[in-house]
Amino acid sequence: MKLAVLLLIPAVMAAQTAEEIMARVAENQSRAEDARASFVYHENLLVRMKRANGKLAREEIRDYTVTPTPTGVKREMVHFAGKYGLHGKEYDFATPGYEYKGMDIDAGVAKDLADHFGRSRQSKDGIGRDLFPLTQRGQEGYAFHLESRQKYKDRDVFRITFKPAEKDGRRIWAGEALIDAAEYQPVLVTTHFARGIPAAVKIIAGTNISQMGFKISYQKLDDRLWFPASYSGELRVRFLFVYARSISIGAINSDFKKTDVRTEIAFQ
């Protein structure tokens, strides 16, 4: 009897649909919210901007200590280093938002990206829920398809692709998710822009955002909790015919420490 049950397990799991698998992922994401709020960790953030010719325009590295709050996370910057490229040479600077000329668009763009990337106030890990369809609400409006079951870094995973449902105009991402087949946790999720900027806007305003996509990988911390370990994105921007940049941004989380909160009451 035990042998028969064991033989049936792979067949039962193979019969699952992509929607059933992602529903279990959503349940685990909901349970993980409170658990993630118990961890303090280190975040290393990189913003790199290149000109149309491939030369470095600006690069900034930030190190944060990230602590949980009742509504999200709080980041405290503990280190900063930056450099910009000009006429084939690179120059260092040590202040966020530093402008090396009167009007430095790169300074404002880099600071805005760094301030908002990985700092969503609606989640306990700082990751925007709309970027990756993992939570129950985030999965609404997406169509999922189970492509295969395979090995990824010695783990058995489901490979599921997703795209906006045909009748849903709210969603803009498409991509694939690798889901741990034993624990129904996301291992690696990649996305790309499923819808581009209208052609009329590109022609009239000279503005375009292309090759936009994000990637997130997860690390298992204990039996019940997986945490975002790395988070990155890339895009190309062209604005009003005069500003063109290739932008890459990425964060690596490490040194996870579980907080220990104690309350003591003393009586005379």
pLDDT digits (tens, 9 = 90+) for 119-133: 666 665 667 666 788
Answer whether 65's CB lies under 8 Å from 78's CB. Answer: yes
* Confidence category of residue 203, pLDDT binned at 50, 70, 90: very low
What is the pTM (predicted TM-score) of this model?
Answer: 0.80
* Confidence category of residue 142, pLDDT binned at 50, 70, 90: very high
DSSP 189-229: EEEEESS---HHHHHHH--EEEEEEEEEEEEE-SSS-EEEE
Query: Is the per-residue pLDDT at 200 higher than 80?
Result: no
Q: How far apart are CA 229 and CA 32, in angstroms?
A: 15
Q: Which residue has the higher pLDDT, 220 or 131?
A: 220
> How long, in residues, is the chain?
268
Predicted local distance difference test score (pLDDT) of residue 61: 97
What number is the average pLDDT over the span 159-164? Answer: 94
Query: Is the per-residue pLDDT at 170 higher than 90?
Result: no
- Looking at the DSSP bridge assignments, the partners of residue 239 are 243
Query: Is the per-residue pLDDT at 210 higher than 90?
Result: no
Q: Which residue has the higher pLDDT, 264 or 255?
A: 255
**Tokens of residue 50, six digits:** 């290149």
Where are the alpha helices (H) located in 45-133, listed in sequence order? Answer: 105-116
Query: Is the per-residue pLDDT at 11 higher than 50?
Result: no
Predicted local distance difference test score (pLDDT) of residue 201: 40
Give the count of alpha carbons within 13 A of 227, CB side only: 25
Residue with tokens 């000329």: 101
**Tokens of residue 48, six digits:** 């790199």
Which tens digit of pLDDT belongs to each residue from 37-64? 788 999 999 999 999 899 999 999 999 9
What number is the average pLDDT over the span 79-105? Answer: 89
Predicted local distance difference test score (pLDDT) of residue 221: 86
Percent of the chain scored above 90 by pLDDT? 43
Predicted local distance difference test score (pLDDT) of residue 172: 80
Predicted local distance difference test score (pLDDT) of residue 22: 95
How do strand 226-239 and strand 243-258 relate by DSSP bridges?
antiparallel
